[in-house]
Amino acid sequence: MTAPAESNPGPSGPVDPTATQAWSRLSELSRDFAPDLRASFAEDPDRADRLTLSAADLHVDLSKNLVNADIVEALLALGDEVGLTARRDAMFAGERINATEDRAVLHTALRKPRGSSLTIEGRDVVADVHEVLERVYAFADKVRSGEWRGVTGQPIRTVVNIGIGGSDLGAVMAYEALAPYVQDGLECRFISNIDPTDTAHKLSGLDPATTLFIVCSKTFGTLETLTNARLCKAWLLAGLAEVDASDAVAKHFIAVSTALDKVADFGIDPENAFGFWDWVGGRYSVDSAVGTALVIAIGPRHFADFLAGFHALDEHFRTEPLETNVPALMGLINIWHHNFLGAATHAVLPYAQLMHRFPAYLQQLTMESNGKSVRWDGTPVTTETGEVFWGEPATNGQHAFYQLIHQGTQLVPADLIAFVNPPYALRDGDTDVHELLLANFFAQSQALAFGKTSEEVRAEMSGASIDEAVVAARVFEGNRPTTSMMAPSLTPAVLGQLIALYEHLTFVQGVVWGIDSFDQWGVELGKQLAQAITPAVGGDADVLAEQDTSTQSLVRYYREHRR
Ligand code: F6P
């Protein structure tokens, strides 16, 4: 094993990963690397057992990735040389590892159990977390039981969450994933886009008297959310014209934010607002009060299970040696595929229809976190960062883009996720339909790993005249890397575990690259320019003249063609 050049250097300065001995070793291993998963499995009957690990309820098979013992050893040495465990420990301890915003990164404190503690700058943040959770739970219970009444005395039937990015994606994803846990008679809708179609579409068919709005914004300054909140307020007041406006807002609007002063300015009673803290990144916040819509939908007990699932994975990540640490290994294997084998994208393929928003959720988590070109000390990164994460539930994806994953020229590592027990058990005659789904899950990782040779194709075509062009088109090279994940069922706890797994593997990759995975300056310029261009869109010729010629022409096209 290669000796680490520098072990656990601590959280301050990023280590250049490309200057480590492990990186040199990995480069060497990648030169002339010719993966052959058929041979790897044939020669090593223990491969699947050795590379299958557990993390809480997750059963994770890493054996169909393009790794061997030398590569795994070098990846672990890389983790050591870049100080992965020290930085992990710094995160859990509440050190200010979000360097560019000078903040602690403590989403893990959101799911610490009641009775545990973590003191940061003299405050027990776990006690703070549970105080807010209790308020959210009490409020949710009132809505669920019908004790909380709208201004006309009717119970709430629909909860509309108004938020975007981290104030939307996690809650909507989890609401969809946990549909079987949603209380009968309650529905949640999620408005995010500044496109007014979103608000119009989501409000359609709703009765203002039975609708509760949650304005969810960490900063309470996001243009989309505040605009949509105003649209919803106007809709509510128009629909409840006979009642006092402030009573209507008090009974139909609540807020979730770190900026409670701005909540009051919007006209929402601070009594009906739930806070969180600047040490929670938006994309890491579904397990805070940002999940209030979810708490109302599935109830405090199930939400507590959701949090316990996160915590179980946190404990795995915090305490498990790197050799058997699932998020660490998944993150390091991603580094191998991305930095050494050139995989630019990474597919996430849930074999579970209810997980249909999971890839979209992961896009913010992974790409807003690791899509960076500078390191946490402001120096340029020294290697490629941030794969494009994408995906769709299977088997739909199989009939759409799997062709490219199987036979295209790009390497696309994929995570396949399936659950043993379905939420809805349906039979087609004698056939358990969930087993058809699982057969596809098992088959796809097999096909991707082992492919089909020209000899096998010819054998299949025996009897027919063999056209070699057709043979070539029907060959599958195999050696397409996958991680297969299973869990007993898609429960709140398992969903929490899956989210935490991806949070931590994203962190691992960020540590290797030396980047601050917790800021998101890259979204700011577009916001600034949108504000600057708005007057031109509305007809201000002077502002239009200040724009580049392409933008001027686009705006003119808009103004000439609008009805
Ligand atoms: O613009 C990006 C972003 O800041 C995300 O990081 C965040 O999740 C989203 O906007 C919403 O922000 P807020 O919760 O402050 O409205």
Residue whose pair of structure tokens reads 């396949």 in the numeric block: 416
Percent of the chain with pLDDT over 70: 98
Q: Which of 518, 520, 525, 527 to mutate to test the pocket of ligand 1 (most atoms within 8 A of CB)?
A: 520
**pLDDT of 7 strictly over 90:** no
- Do residues 110 and 118 make contact, with C-beta atoms less than 8 angstroms apart? no
- Do residues 211 and 187 make contact, with C-beta atoms less than 8 angstroms apart? no
Q: Which tokens go with 222?
A: 């996001």
Mean per-residue pLDDT, 419-438:
95
Task: Please give the pLDDT value at position 154.
Answer: 98
Task: Please give the pLDDT value at position 1.
Answer: 34
If one compares 267 and 381, the residue with the highest pLDDT of the two is 381
The full DSSP string for 410-466 is S---EEEEEEEE-SS--EETTEEHHHHHHHHHHHHHHHHHH-B-HHHHHHHTTTSPP
| C-alpha distance from residue 244 to each of 214, 236, 437 (Å) | 20, 11, 53
- Summarised one tens digit per residue, pLDDT across range 262-318 is 999 888 988 899 999 999 999 999 999 999 999 999 999 999 999 999 999 999 999
Residue 217 near ligand 1, beta carbon < 6 Å: yes
Residue 367 near ligand 1, beta carbon < 6 Å: no
For the range 185-188, what are the long-range contacts, defined as Cβ-Cβ under 8 Å and sequence gap of 24 or more?
185/157, 186/143, 186/144, 186/156, 186/157, 186/158, 186/159, 186/296, 186/297, 187/157, 187/158, 187/159, 188/158, 188/159, 188/160, 188/161, 188/293, 188/294, 188/296, 188/297
User: CB under 8 Å to 327, separation ≥6 — which residues?
Assistant: 55, 313, 316, 317, 500, 501, 502, 503, 504, 505, 507, 508
- Do residues 259 and 220 make contact, with C-beta atoms less than 8 angstroms apart? yes
137-304 CATH: 3.40.50.10490
pLDDT tier at 3 (50, 70, 90 boundaries)?
very low
CA of 525 to the centre of ligand 1 (A): 14
Residue 169 near ligand 1, beta carbon < 6 Å: no
Specify the CATH architecture of the domain 51-81+320-446+477-513.
Answer: 3-Layer(aba) Sandwich (3.40)
51-81+320-446+477-513 shares its CATH topology with 137-304: yes
Residue 285 near ligand 1, beta carbon < 6 Å: no
Task: Please give the pLDDT value at position 465.
Answer: 84
- For residue 344, give the amino acid letter: A
Q: Is the pTM of this model over 0.85?
A: yes
Mean per-residue pLDDT, 113-132:
96
The secondary structure of residue 155, as a DSSP letter, is: B
Residue 331 near ligand 1, beta carbon < 6 Å: no
Q: How far, in Å, CA of 459 to CA of 453, rounded? A: 10
- Do residues 223 and 121 make contact, with C-beta atoms less than 8 angstroms apart? no
Q: Whose CA is nearest to atom 2 of ligand 1?
A: 523
Q: How far, in Å, CA of 13 to CA of 10, rounded? A: 8
Task: Please give the pLDDT value at position 12.
Answer: 65
Considering the candidates 147, 399, 524, 561, report the single residue annotated as catalytic: 399
CA of 259 to the centre of ligand 1 (A): 13
Residue whose pair of structure tokens reads 């996690």 in the numeric block: 170
CA of 220 to the centre of ligand 1 (A): 9
Residue 227 near ligand 1, beta carbon < 6 Å: no
Residue 258 near ligand 1, beta carbon < 6 Å: no
- Summarised one tens digit per residue, pLDDT across range 525-556 is 999 999 999 999 999 999 999 999 999 999 99
Where do the structural domains in the chain lie, given as residue ranges? 51-81+320-446+477-513, 137-304, 527-561
Residue 218 near ligand 1, beta carbon < 6 Å: yes
CA of 164 to the centre of ligand 1 (A): 6
Q: How far, in Å, CA of 225 to CA of 218, rounded? A: 10
**pLDDT of 421 strictly over 60:** yes
Task: Please give the pLDDT value at position 260.
Answer: 87
Phi/psi of residue 333, nearest 5 degrees: -65, -35
Q: How far, in Å, CA of 485 to CA of 56, rounded? A: 12
Mean per-residue pLDDT, 223-250:
96
Q: Which tokens go with 197?
A: 């179609």
Q: How far, in Å, CA of 394 to CA of 352, rounded? A: 7
Q: How far, in Å, CA of 352 to CA of 417, rounded? A: 8
Q: Where are the beta strands (DSSP E) in 246-288?
A: 253-257, 273-275
- Summarised one tens digit per residue, pLDDT across range 446-484 is 999 999 999 999 999 887 788 999 999 999 999 999 999
**pLDDT of 503 strictly over 90:** yes
**pLDDT of 159 strictly over 60:** yes
Considering the candidates 95, 224, 368, 387, report the single residue annotated as catalytic: 368
Q: How far, in Å, CA of 451 to CA of 425, rounded? A: 32
pLDDT tier at 89 (50, 70, 90 boundaries)?
very high
Q: How far, in Å, CA of 335 to CA of 385, rounded? A: 9
Task: Please give the pLDDT value at position 169.
Answer: 98
Task: Please give the pLDDT value at position 13.
Answer: 81
Q: Which of 164, 225, 517 to mutate to test the pocket of ligand 1 (most atoms within 8 A of CB)?
A: 164
Packing angle of the helix pair 326-335, 69-81 (nearest 10 deg): 100
To the query of whether residue 368 is one of the catalytic residues in this protein, the response is yes
Q: How far, in Å, CA of 62 to CA of 445, rounded? A: 11
**pLDDT of 206 strictly over 80:** yes
Burial code (b: 16+ CB inside 10 Å, e: under 16) for 169-201 equals: bbbbbbbbbbeebbeeebebbbbbeeeeebbee
Residue 167 near ligand 1, beta carbon < 6 Å: yes
Q: What is the mean pLDDT of the chain?
A: 95
Task: Please give the pLDDT value at position 550.
Answer: 98
Longest dimension (CA), the chain: 82
Strands 123-124 and 273-275: unpaired
- Do residues 168 and 202 make contact, with C-beta atoms less than 8 angstroms apart? no
pLDDT tier at 2 (50, 70, 90 boundaries)?
very low
Q: How far, in Å, CA of 313 to CA of 53, rounded? A: 13
pLDDT tier at 116 (50, 70, 90 boundaries)?
very high
Q: Which of 101, 107, 218 to mutate to test the pocket of ligand 1 (most atoms within 8 A of CB)?
A: 218
Mean per-residue pLDDT, 201-214:
98
**pLDDT of 8 strictly over 50:** no
